[in-house]
Amino acid sequence: MLILNKRPVITIFLVAAFLFFIGQAAVYSQTNAPQTPPANIDSDPLVIKIAVFGPGDDLYLWWGHIGLIIENYSTNRARFYDWGVFSFENENFFSNFAFGRLLYSCEVTSPQWVFDENIYENRDISVYTLNLSPQAKEKIREYAEWTVLPENRDYWYHHFNDNCATRVRDIIDMATDGQFKAEYQNMPGALTLRQEVRRHTWFNPFFDWFLSFLMGQGIDRPATVWEEMFLPSEVGLRVQEFTYTDSNGAQQKLLQSAEIKNLSDGRPAVLNSPRPLWPLTLSLSCAAALLSAILLFFKTRDNQIAGILWAAFQGLLGLFFGTAGTVLCFMSFFTNHDYTYRNINVLFANPLLLAAVPFGILYCIGLKNQNHYKWEALAKTLWSCIFVLEIISVLINVIFLGQQNQADICLVLPFTAVLSWLPQALVYVRREYLWRWLN
């Protein structure tokens, strides 16, 4: 048996560990060090940059990301300030998320580490160096350091009013003594906030519809350019065009230089304006209406299989839209998600639709003892109420609200008309009145 002396082994281990940590520190210092020092490094050691990242794979990354880079040549360090940090490990994260209490934080990391990670994730990366006075740069540095203190780093996230992009937007405004906001606060934007959201979600039809379905009338008014800068890409766009007046009264371009760090490969492009969704939803609803009509036609001929299929199909529709309506009602009335408030969709997409499921089940059970007619009548009454509420919602929307929910109306109206009492009413009118009048 070979017996080792413990003291040499421990010594070797300690030396190896020391060399490893020295190497790691050297690598960290190199990756966090600025790369290209400015010419006037003694009088102006700070370089301020904005890094804009394109969409990522996860849903919350579809609208891109943004962060602030400060390169400090007096300390030979570069720091990336990120106001878009959250953790699933936070206490009560999912319940807070459901109720609209989204706790985000500002954290500091290495710019190169962030670039490497986003290049690996196949995302666009653009970096904009800002042309600011030494005093403005120092103000940004002091504020950025203040925001990462434990007592200041957390904030309540809002998708449109307070996020990673609006935080950077406000820092630019602070550095230009309010000129950035004065330029864009009242400047009309090209799109509404709903359209700005949807031009990033077009490639996924389900989430494109569902997210728009949940959002209320408040985001359908014309947005200002200042409001559009809840999107990181819009901040980058305005940085490139903005000019301001410096302390000497001279006009200065905010952008000093721009660099493209990475271009994504094969990722869906962000559209300039969203594609209309209503043709797709109308086609789907018409297909559902046609299938419902076929099942109803064969069901009236005492075809029990057709009756069971009809009951199952209308139950599935009730389950889907009832679940979506339940989520909508919860977000509209019980959460802090204020962009879901004043949503006319709650009239015709609500938890009442879930009743179609037990009506369908009881209809199938009643087929054995011919007790199914009352459950069919209740199901048709339910769909008739939804159909009437849709018509009312259209009138209210046209007269008062102006919510852009055409895709939602088109998705629900055709098949609810077929599942309601309307077809039988039309047959009755044709038989009792129209036929007599013609003869």
CB contact at 8 A, 390 and 413: yes
Which token pair is 89?
């490990």
Residue 5 identity = N
The pair of structure tokens assigned to 265 is: 């490969």
Q: What is the pLDDT of residue 67?
A: 98
Q: Return the bridge partners of 251, or none.
A: 245
CA–CA distances in Å: residue 367 to residues 7, 308, 373: 87, 9, 9
List pLDDT tens digits, range 185-227. Answer: 999 999 999 999 999 999 999 999 999 999 999 999 999 999 9
Rounded CA-CA distance 55/63 in Å is 5
The domain locations on the chain are: 31-262, 278-438
DSSP 138-198: HHHHHHHHHHTSTTTSEEEEBTTTBSHHHHHHHHHHHHTTTHHHHHHSSSEEEEEHHHHHH
Planar angle of CA 420, 422, 424, nearest 5 degrees: 105
Q: What is the pLDDT of residues 138-167, one digit of tens each?
A: 999 999 999 999 999 999 999 999 999 999
DSSP bridge partners of 262: 125
Identity of residue 130: L
Q: Can you tell me which residue has the tokens 């490139």?
A: 240
> Phi and psi for 341 in degrees, rounded to 5?
-70, 165
The CA distance from 388 to 417, in Å, is 9
For the chain, list residues with pLDDT below 70.
1-43, 90, 301, 429-439
Q: ∠ CA(255), CA(146), CA(83), 5° rounding?
A: 60
pTM for the model: 0.85
pLDDT value of position 434: 56
Closest CA relative to residue 53, chosen from 109, 147, 146, 127: 127
